[in-house]
Chain A
Amino acid sequence: EVQLVESGGGLVQPGGSLRLSCAASGFSFRAYSMTWVRQAPGRGLEWVSYINGGTSTIHHADSVKGRFTISRDNAKNSLYLQMNSLRAEDTAVYYCARFEEVADAFDIWGQGTMVTVSS
């Protein structure tokens, strides 16, 4: 079964750091680009970050550029999001999603992990 499972969310103070992880199974992880997408409470979907299979191409949304870093370990079938200098507006459910390049589609999603930035 193709599956993505996020972990690492929690409560953090403004200015703090958190590292999210996403464990992939059921498919050839290294062959796919991966992304992080977030959803603030009561709001819509916001794309956050992208990394291709070979890690040669990385993109971040302007709202997180310079603060968040996406990475992956293909040997461990894992995707990561290092989040620094967190702000209240970063509070959201964070989803990892597989990106199918040929179709420009986010075809597999994890269940999400909640990040709350508050003092």
Chain B
Amino acid sequence: QSVLTQPPSVSAAPGQKVTISCSGSSSNIGNNYVSWYQQLPGTAPKLLIYENNKRPSGIPDRFSGSKSGTSATLGITGLQTGDEADYYCGTWDGSLSAGVFGTGTKVTVL
């Protein structure tokens, strides 16, 4: 049902780096900004990255975003146990006239 595709899970040891991909199409990622959301267990989603690569106030620079064509990537460096969460990409789809989210990726710190 989700229009944007993400890997189900990624994992790494503390201090290491992980990347999460988000694949879409020209009607969504290709022509709009991508944002990323962190959802800690039992809590509401929180904006992590907006306009492809910008961080809201309070978000550490360990989190980064990029976009190329119809795909986007979230990077997390210096992985911490507190980063264990579900991560979603999101944007607007002009053809559907609808908001769209990725399938979600669970980050596990080994």
Q: Which residues of A contact B1 (CB under 8 A)?
A: 46
B78 within 8 Å of A by Cβ? no
Tally of A interface residues using CB under 8 Å: 23
Within 8 A of A (CB), among B1-32: 1-2, 32
Segment of A7-15, A17-25, A78-86, A106-114 engaged in the interface with chain B: A106-114
Q: Which chain A residue has the least Cβ–Cβ distance from B45?
A: A109
A50/B99 in contact, CB under 8 A? yes
A95 within 8 Å of B by Cβ? yes
CB of B36, distance to nearest CB on chain A (Å): 9
A105 within 8 Å of B by Cβ? yes
A45/B104 in contact, CB under 8 A? yes
Q: Which chain B residue has the least Cβ–Cβ distance from A35?
A: B99
CB of A37, distance to nearest CB on chain B (Å): 7
Our pick among A61, A105, A110 for the contact of B35 (Cβ within 8 Å) is A105
B63 within 8 Å of A by Cβ? no
Within 8 A of B (CB), among A60-85: 61
Q: Which residues of B contact A106 (CB under 8 A)?
A: 35, 37, 45, 47, 90, 99
7 residue pairs, one from A and one from B, having the closest CB atoms: A47-B99, A105-B35, A44-B104, A105-B50, A45-B101, A104-B33, A109-B44
What residues of chain B have their CB less than 8 Å away from a CB belonging to chain A? 1-2, 32-35, 37, 39, 44-47, 50-51, 54, 56, 86, 88, 90-92, 97-104
What residues of chain A have their CB less than 8 Å away from a CB belonging to chain B? 35, 37, 44-47, 50, 59, 61, 95, 97, 99-100, 103-112
